Structure 1
Amino acid sequence: FGRLDRDTTGLMLLGTDGGVGALLTDPESGVSKEYWVILSGVRPLKEDAAALIREGIELRDGSRCLPALLSDGPGPHPAADLGPSACGWPAYWVDKARGRPCVSVVLHEGLHHQVKRMLGACDGSVMELHREAIGPLRLSELQPPIPEGCARPPTEEELRVVLSLLPQARDAKARSPQVHARMQAKREKARTRTCPN
């Protein structure tokens, strides 16, 4: 369900139930996706990047993202040392192999190249992008582990976790006024494009 860009690694859920897929990927559902990002440059982001992203950053094309979270993540990336990088901004950790700053981005929607575009609007450039989590399922914590480029059927526990998200997703979708207003605006914009006055 959902997709990953060709140059992005990480967790994907595969299935044939379109309704489940729609609930897990629809921004109105409230199911989060966490991305680990290795950035280019020594001080790659504006100082107020975390606040801009938390408020719902406006992208360079004028579209506005839903509020998201930019942080150093809930736990260490396996290839990183935690702690402030040489740039001095505390929301980074440092990639051991490359000495590059890294951040975690948690969002609830999936616009085209969204993480790259959000960080680009904060003067950042993405070197590598990895989806670590969908909702409570964290790739680095799955047992048995899944090697990069491989797939396996979900365990009973993982399936239970995914299915437990569905009522939560339906409830969140039903009561999200901000997302509802945004989706209504998109529908109106599409209508005016296809039905000129």
Structure 2
Amino acid sequence: MTRLIQFNKPFGVLPQFTDRKSPTERPTLSLYIDLPGVYPAGRLDRDSEGLMLLTDDGGLQAKISHPKNKMEKTYWVQVEGDPTGRDLEPLRKGLQLNDGPTRPAQARLIEAPKLWERDPPVRFRKSIPDRWLEIVISEGRNRQVRRMTAAIGLPTLRLVRVGIGPWRLGNLHPGEWQDAPMHRVPPVGVTPKVRPERAPGERPRRPRKPRKGKGPKPD
């Protein structure tokens, strides 16, 4: 039976089970996950936090992580500066990075989410304000979100991934994992339609009322 788990990766933890590049061993997934045969479906930078998916099914792993599948990933991003919604327009249109243009992203300002305290804490500059953004991308380039915000003059202070396709971080605390629901993943090359996660404090949309005279006729 296929095993799929979701994990809240803490800051500073490598998104892999072994560390062969550093002479001093750095924390890896093996400190938190003791399950044989599961491997990450995609990566998350060492200095980023939040949702990772791991599975023992190679086919499922490929579907989730394959670039052609354009699986949407949702991030809450704390940036240095005080942008307006208009300042985020380059992210929505797509912008030029040193490895080529990005696809259009979803980007909006959100209220500061209720998150765990990061260890170590974020370093702030008292003279410069900070804001939180929600950014949804369907690519997976190296440090892409950080490079996108830097390109519009908003250095990233903290980056937390809260969604991958239909999967959400939920109430998992840093270092915790749980079995994930087995959502249907489209074949490689078919873009799934995912409803963006509601920002903290945002009211849910009310269903539209039916127009008068448009309902079914009585018998």
Q: Please confirm whether the aligned pair reaches a TM-score higher than 0.5, indicating the same fold.
A: yes
Of 108, 113, 120, which residue of structure 2 is paired with 1:77? 113
Q: Is the 8 A contact 1:36 1:102 kept in 2?
A: yes
Matches within 5 A, 1:2-151: 2-41=42-81, 43=82, 45=83, 48-59=86-97, 61=98, 63-72=100-109, 77-79=113-115, 100-140=130-170, 145-151=171-177
Q: Is the 8 A contact 2:77 2:134 kept in 1?
A: yes
- The normalised TM-score by structure 1 is 0.62
SS of structure 2 residue aligned to 1:117? helix
Q: Show structure 2 runs of 5+ residues with no match.
A: 1-40, 116-128, 193-219
Alpha-carbon distance in structure 2 between the residues aligned to 1:20 and 1:76? 34
Q: Which has the higher helix share?
A: 1
Matches within 5 A, 1:157-176: 158-159=181-182, 161=183, 164-167=184-187, 169-172=188-191
| Segment drifting more, 14-23 vs 111-120 | 14-23
- The normalised TM-score by structure 2 is 0.56
Bigger radius of gyration, 1 or 2?
2
Q: Which has the higher strand share?
A: 2
SS of structure 1 residue aligned to 2:74? strand
Change (3 A) 1:46 1:113: farther
Q: Which amino acid aligns with 2:57?
A: D
Alpha-carbon distance in structure 2 between the residues aligned to 1:76 and 1:123? 20
SS of structure 2 residue aligned to 1:115? helix
Deviation of the 1:46 alpha carbon: 7.8
